[in-house]
């Protein structure tokens, strides 16, 4: 069973679910499953999971839309997500998955895993929501083995000043209806400021409202010691 390293901050029980309202726990996970679990998004997800191998920690596992897309090189997935409804929605995907998935934590900022204990990490549309995404990236760096990679697919701050202005203006509303999701998070800046080294990053629009559809996709590596 995964454990945190000695002397680390205390961790809540893995079975603990933080108190949330009916909308956040019952409605929002189902909305996200529909909006981000469709075939169009699966094409983006499939490109993101390419190259994952060994033991993978997945931040923001949600309802498991990545499960059918894991490459055969993935041996085990350690899932991190606070939503019990998401886990229930994932049940059908998990039942037919050849890859074993273990739920190991609730919070990307505090991963209950040993140092250098996973081969790769995965984050798809998750860094926008983690309150302190910089801490989550430090945790990913900590638990990755040297040479391990974070594969990411995120939405965030658009370089177009007109779009960015709308993102800033609407961010408060988005946080309320999107479970803490930020429209204007600077994903590139977060990754560049983290202990990880960005290997590749592509940015592009997908179909949809421009405030939501500026994407960042790529990999960031933990340098070998």
Q: What is the pLDDT of residue 9?
A: 34
Nearby residues of 100 by Cβ (< 8 Å), 6 or more positions away: 76, 77
User: Which of these, 205, 65, 202, lies nearest to 122 by C-alpha position?
Assistant: 65
Q: In sequence order, which ranges of the chain are alpha helices (DSSP H)?
A: 22, 28-36, 39-49, 84-89, 91-95, 133-143, 161-177, 187-193
Backbone angles phi, psi at 197, to 5 degrees: -105, 120
Per cent of the chain over pLDDT 90 is 84
What is the per-residue pLDDT across 181-215, written as a single tens digit (0 to 9) for each?
A: 999 999 999 999 999 999 999 999 999 999 999 99
Is residue 194 within 8 Å of residue 139, measured between CB atoms? no
Q: Chain-wide mean pLDDT for the chain?
A: 91
23 pLDDT band, cuts 50/70/90, is confident
Instruction: Enumerate the domain spans of the chain.
Output: 22-221
**CATH number, span 22-221:** 3.40.50.150
Predicted TM-score (pTM) of this structure? 0.89
């Amino acid at each position: 069973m995964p454990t945190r390293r000695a002397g680390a901050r205390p961790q809540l029980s893995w079975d603990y679910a933080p108190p949330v309202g009916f909308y956040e726990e019952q409605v929002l996970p189902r909305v996200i499953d529909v909006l981000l679990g469709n075939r169009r998004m699966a094409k983006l997800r499939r490109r993101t999971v390419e190259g994952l191998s060994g033991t993978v920690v997945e931040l923001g596992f949600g309802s498991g839309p990545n499960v059918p897309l894991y490459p055969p090189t993935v041996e085990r997935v350690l899932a991190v997500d606070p939503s019990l409804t998401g886990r229930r929605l994932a049940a059908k995907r998990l039942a037919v998955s050849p890859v074993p998935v273990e739920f190991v934590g609730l919070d990307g900022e505090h991963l209950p895993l040993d140092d250098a204990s996973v081969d790769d990490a995965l984050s798809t549309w998750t860094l926008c929501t983690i309150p302190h995404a910089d801490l989550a990236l430090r945790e990913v760096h900590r638990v990755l083995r040297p040479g391990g990679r974070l594969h990411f697919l995120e939405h965030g701050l658009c370089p177009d000043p007109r779009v960015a202005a709308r993102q800033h203006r609407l961010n408060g509303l988005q946080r309320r209806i999107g479970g803490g999701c930020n429209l204007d998070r600077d994903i590139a800046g977060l990754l560049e400021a983290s202990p990880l080294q960005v290997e590749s990053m592509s940015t592009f629009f997908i179909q949809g409202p421009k405030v939501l559809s500026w994407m960042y996709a790529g990999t960031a590596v933990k340098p070998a010691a």
